[in-house]
Amino acid sequence: MKFVIAGLLLALLAEGQTPRIFNTVKTKLAQGKQVVGGTVSSSDPDIYCAMAGGGFDFTWIEMQHSPLTYSEVARMIYACRGAAAIPFIRVPDANEGDIQKATDVGALGIIIPMVESLEKVHNAIKFAKYPPLGKRSQGGGQYGALWGSDYRQQANTNIMIVAMIESPAGVEIADKIAAIPGVDVVFVASTDLGSFSGLKQGDPKYEALVTKIKDAVLSHGKILAGPLAWKERPGYHFFQGPGETSLLRSGAKAALSGANEGAPKGVAVIEGTEKK
């Protein structure tokens, strides 16, 4: 993990810039801490702010498997600017349009789905990073209002690339994916790995695929990621947490069970004082 941060800082210093890290996910990972992201598929800014301020380290804004538009995501992120959770976006694909729009609206993490080729990863890095590290073009966006007037000079150090391995084809090139400079995190997509391999978690053949990814990622000093259910597995530091629908369901169950956080038992919460 320290190798990733050090490499980025050296690259920035080579450009004659003073590093300013405002991506707290990167800082926490460099300190050896685990980070968890809450998954957001709703376009409601209030729901986004509840997730961004709910204790998660980052928000996993789901644009691969949701109808969210970049206009909606831009409003969501801006509505909760200053929130503790850093915005990460799982883009539909690693193409120039998706990645540049995601970075322009202020995402500091780009999550690339279905990585089965090195070209896909190289494209993600190329379009997420400004020259000389990439070919991201300058344009309009709200990134400066979110991250400061020196954003252009600091963006390359703060934007993280997360490569998702979801199939046996991705597993086969896991070592080469993890070796690419600019890849910060490699995510083991547990459900799709099972779907594409036809194997279940716990099956020795399935676990062998997972172990192959893990060994490759850690051998290159990169961050190993997976679902929150794998939080106790050794070596993992980056996790996708539940979505807002799941949390509403569990919250409703807690409320109906009589839980009343912040008030004495049997005393109703005063309207308007609820935690946002």
Q: What does the pLDDT average to over 132-141?
A: 92
Entry pTM = 0.89
234-249 residue pLDDT tens: 999 999 999 999 999 9
* Residue 37 pLDDT: 98
Q: What are phi and psi of 41, to 5 degrees?
A: -120, -10
State how beta strands 109-112 and 185-188 pair.
unpaired
Asked whether the predicted pLDDT for residue 1 surpasses 70, the reply is no
Asked whether the predicted pLDDT for residue 60 surpasses 50, the reply is yes
Handedness of CA 204, 210, 212, 218 (dihedral sign): negative
12 pLDDT band, cuts 50/70/90, is very low
How far is C-alpha 238 from the chain's CA centre? 8
As a whole number of Å, the end-to-end CA separation of the chain is: 34
State how beta strands 160-165 and 35-40 pair.
unpaired
Q: What does the pLDDT average to over 105-132?
A: 98
Go through the domains of the chain in sequence order and give each one's CATH number: 2-243 (3.20.20.60)
Check residues 184 and 258 and name the one with the higher pLDDT: 184
Q: Is 212 exposed, middle or buried (CB count within 10 Å of its CB: 0-12, 13-18, 19+)? A: middle
Check residues 118 and 263 and name the one with the higher pLDDT: 118
Range with lowest mean pLDDT among 98-112, 161-175, 195-209, 243-257: 243-257
Count CA atoms within 13 Å of residue 247 on its CB side: 17
Count CA atoms within 13 Å of residue 261 on its CB side: 7
d(CA 110, CA 107): 7
Residue 214 tokens read as 């893990």
* Residue 226 pLDDT: 98
10 three-state secondary structure = helix
Q: What does the pLDDT average to over 18-32?
A: 95
- For tokens 């995402």, the residue is 107
Amino acid 61 reads I
* Residue 139 pLDDT: 83
